[in-house]
Amino acid sequence: MKKVSFVHMADGTAEDYQLIAEAMESAHNPLADDLLELLQKNEGHDIGYQVSRLEHSLQSATHAFRDDQDEEMVVAALLHDIADTIAPYNHADVAAGILRPYVSDRTHWVVKYHGLFQTYYYAHHFGNDRNQRDKYQGHPHFQACVDFCEKYDQNAFDPAFDTMPLSAFEPMVRRILGRKPGFDMSSRDVAA
């Protein structure tokens, strides 16, 4: 494999960065496999819930699918907690970061803020403000995130739920993560 000529990025040439761009274009190909494998590793993690983290993810995606959401949102529902076991306190940021190149601004925003919006259901039990999400009222994706949490996240902990199998979602994951990354890092509004 051809390598760049520099050891400091500041010394890179246009040819060096073209080489990297071409390598990155093919680098996302195994991402679907990696995330599906990580999702399956969540089978044994229940951290006190009545279902495993995998079952929660499958229930969330099943709810979204049965609510006629598009594939992007179904995949987001499946992967919204993908980082729960490796980044429990900022899992939403990590999941949103993984999905960012492949999904719309709306889906990215929903995944990024679902952790905060989900506190609506439990923050008051710890003496905290359950309405922390209200600081985002007026944002174009506010209601989409409220709906995501209400319809696909907070209600996905039922051991008796008729959950669709992971195999039903795998082709969707491959299609969404197989998209050509659709953003320009130089123009991305990081606060969006």
The enclosing domain of 47 has a CATH number of: 1.10.3210.10
What residues make up the domain containing 50?
30-177
pLDDT of residue 192: 46
pLDDT of residue 190: 43
The answer to the question of residue 187 being in a domain is: no
The answer to the question of residue 22 being in a domain is: no
3-state secondary structure the chain: CCCCCCCCHHHCCHHHHHHHHHHHHHHCCCHHHHHHHHHHHHHHCCCCCCCCHHHHHHHHHHHHHHCCCCHHHHHHHHHCCCCCCCCCCCHHHHHHHHHHHHCCHHHHHHHHHHHHHHHHHCHHHHCCCCCHHHHHCCCCCHHHHHHHHHHHHCCCCCCCCCCCCHHHHHHHHHHHHCCCCCCCCCCCCCCC
The answer to the question of residue 152 being in a domain is: yes
The answer to the question of residue 46 being in a domain is: yes
The answer to the question of residue 182 being in a domain is: no
pTM score, whole prediction: 0.84
pLDDT of residue 24: 73
pLDDT of residue 181: 84
Tally of domains in the chain: 1
pLDDT of residue 185: 47
The answer to the question of residue 92 being in a domain is: yes
| 81-117 pLDDT per residue, tens | 999 888 989 999 999 999 999 999 999 999 999 999 9
The answer to the question of residue 20 being in a domain is: no
pLDDT of residue 85: 85
Separation of alpha carbons 77 and 101, rounded Å: 16
pLDDT of residue 152: 98
pLDDT tens string, the chain, 192 residues long: the values are 789 999 989 999 999 988 888 777 665 568 999 999 999 987 876 678 899 999 999 999 999 999 999 999 999 999 999 998 889 899 999 999 999 999 999 999 999 999 999 999 999 999 999 999 999 999 999 999 999 999 999 999 999 999 999 999 999 999 999 988 875 544 444 444
